[in-house]
Amino acid sequence: MKDIQNSPDHRNIDLREAGIKDLKYPITILDKEEREQTTVADISMSVSLPHHFKGTHMSRFLEVLTSSGCRFTGSTIPQVLQKLKLALDAESAKIRIEFPYFLTKQAPVSKAEAKMSYACAFTGESCSDKEDFILTVTVPVSTLCPCSKEISTEGAHNQRGYITMDVRTRMNKDGTFAMLWIEELVAIAEASASAPLYTILKRPDEKHVTEQAYNNPVFVEDIVRNVAEKLRKDPRITQFTVTAENHESIHNHNAYAVVTWTRPNPQDYT
């Protein structure tokens, strides 16, 4: 049958990305406690397209995906990217896998257990001059305003906040990326806010959490600095961006802060 995608194109325009997106697909990822966790991801995959090709072969993206076994870590994503470049005769490839990750959380006093979800993503890119992998984790938290606590005789306003961490890890000598657990980033984020969030809380738990938040007021600026201070100490991490956003309870706007950092001389930590 005639292959239209491989037919020549005379407009002389290279495409940075061409591929598929918004593919819902079951995947398996590593779980620190349970070893593996199955979830449903929203997947985007693309490759570069030289100017002399009319189109790319969309079916080959799915063939590479299914042949990978849909098990994704910092070790397997570089392999998937190499397979994409080979299957589609491309100089560069990119994949983004967005998924909910579930942890069993125990209420602080009653010890009642329930699942808590966190929005996560793996982003990988491979081209002639770099190999890249980013782990993204967004953690919902509780924050209490230090200014409100200082000026009020009773109480202080608090709100739900979201901490998003985009973290690059160092590449190992075998071409894989250093392992960083999602659970580790969740713990760092929760320790950097006023108090964690929980799926289930009994009355003693609510008392504990509200008092914990009241005794630990933080601005969004405090949060990103708290997270950054912890991430910089981890030798596996070479670069990060941390964003904190509060959904303000008494203002008609949100408050946010961002910090970025790149490790000097990351080769010293390999």
| pLDDT band, residue 259 (cuts 50/70/90) | very high
Single out the residue of 53, 241, 9 nearest to residue 138, CA to CA.
Answer: 241
Instruction: Give the helix ranges, DSSP H, for the chain.
Output: 58-67, 77-87, 146-151, 182-191, 203-214, 220-231
pLDDT (tens digit per residue) in 180-206: 999 999 999 999 999 999 999 999 999
Instruction: Give the type of residue at 36.
Output: E
pLDDT at residue 235 tops 80: yes
The reported pLDDT for the residue numbered 269 is 53
* Domains, the chain, with CATH or none: 15-269 (3.10.270.10)
Cα of first residue to Cα of last residue in the chain, in angstroms, is: 50
**pLDDT at residue 13, rounded to an integer:** 81
Tens-digit pLDDT profile for residues 52-94:
666 677 889 999 999 988 888 878 899 999 999 999 889 999 9
- For residue 207, the model assigns a pLDDT of 96
- Contacts for 3 with CB less than 8 Å, ≥ 6 apart: none
Question: Hey, how many other C-beta atoms are within 10 angstroms of the C-beta on 246?
Answer: 25
Q: Which residues of 175-184 are buried (b: 16+ CB within 10 A; e: fewer)?
A: ebbbebebeb
